[in-house]
């Protein structure tokens, strides 16, 4: 009779030491541990993050969004390269809710950011979908802490610019940058109010060549539009700038604006308040993910849920009664 070998438990002390030493392979292994759905891995990941917590929180956290085609990856590549050139260690985390279907692609992310992909002072990593946006948020936040503990002082979190990921990213970063395209007419009409209200800055990308005049006009129209919206903080009016990831024009000014915002928020106390609020939201996001995980794994519920769904769909049972039955099964 053969004895079944159980995989060795993750070496938390070894991972902690390797992360603090900035060993890239160990950092990647730790993030993979965080992404794992295995219960023993999740338990180990919780211990790992708790051990690393004293070494986190000092990085500049910037969320970056924009519609597909706006040039987010090129802008991040340009900004990240500027920062590593100034001696910073940059981490890029990309949130893509659609990766539930595709599984995401590390190669694709690195191909879109060629300079950072080959930069020893940069770390590029897509965030897993985990089936829910709350799951994405939890895993990305924990990955952020791993990278901060490894010495990365600038963390850029990219969202694909679709769905509700923008709100999630704004809730885990200190500064939220919204990228727009030149030619404000159509874009201004289709502007998502909710996204712009989250913005700490709007930047018109691709402001080069024949696009330069259109970008300047677009910036003026966005400035006018922002006057009717309420900013996130009464101490900060979101500026509208132009930039070009292709030529690098305006990229340095973007970063100077991020630092100016950070300094103002720290002096006013808003920075610490926002960080505290983010911690609490992180807790609730993780709790929500745990509850959904139970729904997916409980054998009784897995059998019961399709029947309840069918009854609700057919009008034989109200949604409220179905929820009561699910809650009773979960004992909540």
* pLDDT tens, position by position, 111-129: 678 899 899 999 999 865 5
pLDDT at position 194? 66
Would 69 be classed as within a structural domain?
A: yes
Q: The domain containing residue 44 runs over which residues?
A: 1-55
65 plus 49 within the same structural domain: no
Q: Which runs of E-coded beta strand occur in 96-245?
A: 122-127, 154-159, 175-180, 201-204, 240-242
228 and 108 within one domain: yes
Average pLDDT over residues 158-172: 78
Dump pLDDT digits (tens) for 44-72. 999 999 999 999 999 999 999 988 888 99
Instruction: Give a yes or no: residue 273 inside a domain.
Output: no
Q: How confident is the model at residue 98 (pLDDT cuts 50, 70, 90)?
A: low
Number of domains comprising the chain? 3
Same structural domain, 29 and 63: no
Per mean pLDDT, which of 21-30, 154-163, 183-192 is the most reliable?
21-30
On the 0-12 / 13-18 / 19+ scale of CB atoms within 10 A, 281 is middle
175, part of any domain:
yes
pLDDT in tens, 216-250: 998 988 888 787 777 777 889 999 999 999 999 99
**Whether residues 101 and 218 fall in one domain:** yes
pTM for the whole thing?
Answer: 0.86
pLDDT, position 3: 52
pLDDT on residue 136: 66
Mean pLDDT across the stretch 305-314?
Answer: 92
CB 177 within 8 A of CB 62: yes
Residue 204 bridge partners (DSSP): 180, 242
Q: Do 126 and 18 have their domain in common? A: no
Give the Å distances, CA to CA, from 239 to 29, 201, 246.
39, 5, 21
């Amino acid at each position: 009779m053969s004895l079944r070998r159980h995989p060795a438990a993750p070496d938390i002390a070894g991972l902690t030491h390797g992360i603090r030493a900035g060993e890239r392979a160990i950092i990647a292994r730790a993030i993979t541990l965080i992404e794992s759905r295995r219960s023993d891995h999740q338990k180990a990941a919780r211990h790992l993050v708790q051990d690393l917590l004293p070494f986190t929180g000092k990085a500049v956290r910037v969320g970056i969004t924009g519609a597909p085609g706006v040039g987010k990856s090129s802008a991040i590549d340009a900004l990240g390269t500027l920062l590593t050139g100034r001696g910073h260690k940059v981490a890029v985390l990309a949130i893509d809710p659609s990766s539930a279907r595709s599984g995401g692609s590390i190669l694709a992310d690195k191909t879109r950011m060629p300079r950072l992909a080959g930069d020893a002072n940069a770390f590029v990593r897509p965030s897993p979908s985990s089936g829910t946006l709350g799951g994405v948020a939890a895993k990305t936040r924990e990955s952020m802490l791993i990278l901060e503990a490894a010495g990365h002082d600038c963390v850029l979190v990219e969202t694909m610019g679709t769905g509700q990921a923008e709100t999630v990213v704004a809730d885990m970063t200190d500064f939220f940058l919204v990228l727009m395209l030149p030619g404000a007419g159509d874009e201004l009409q289709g502007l998502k109010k909710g996204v712009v209200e989250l913005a700490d800055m709007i930047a018109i990308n691709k402001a080069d060549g024949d696009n330069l005049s259109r970008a300047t006009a677009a910036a003026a129209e966005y400035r006018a539009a922002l006057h009717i919206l309420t900013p996130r903080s009464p101490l900060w009016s979101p500026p509208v700038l132009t930039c070009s990831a292709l030529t690098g024009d305006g990229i340095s000014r973007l970063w100077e604006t991020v630092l100016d915002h950070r300094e103002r928020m720290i002096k006013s106390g808003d920075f610490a308040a926002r960080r505290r609020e983010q911690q609490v939201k992180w807790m609730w996001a993780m709790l929500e993910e745990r509850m959904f995980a139970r729904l997916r794994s409980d054998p009784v519920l897995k059998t019961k849920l399709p029947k309840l769904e069918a009854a609700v769909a057919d009008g034989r049972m109200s949604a409220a009664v179905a929820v009561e039955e699910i809650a009773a099964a979960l004992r909540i």
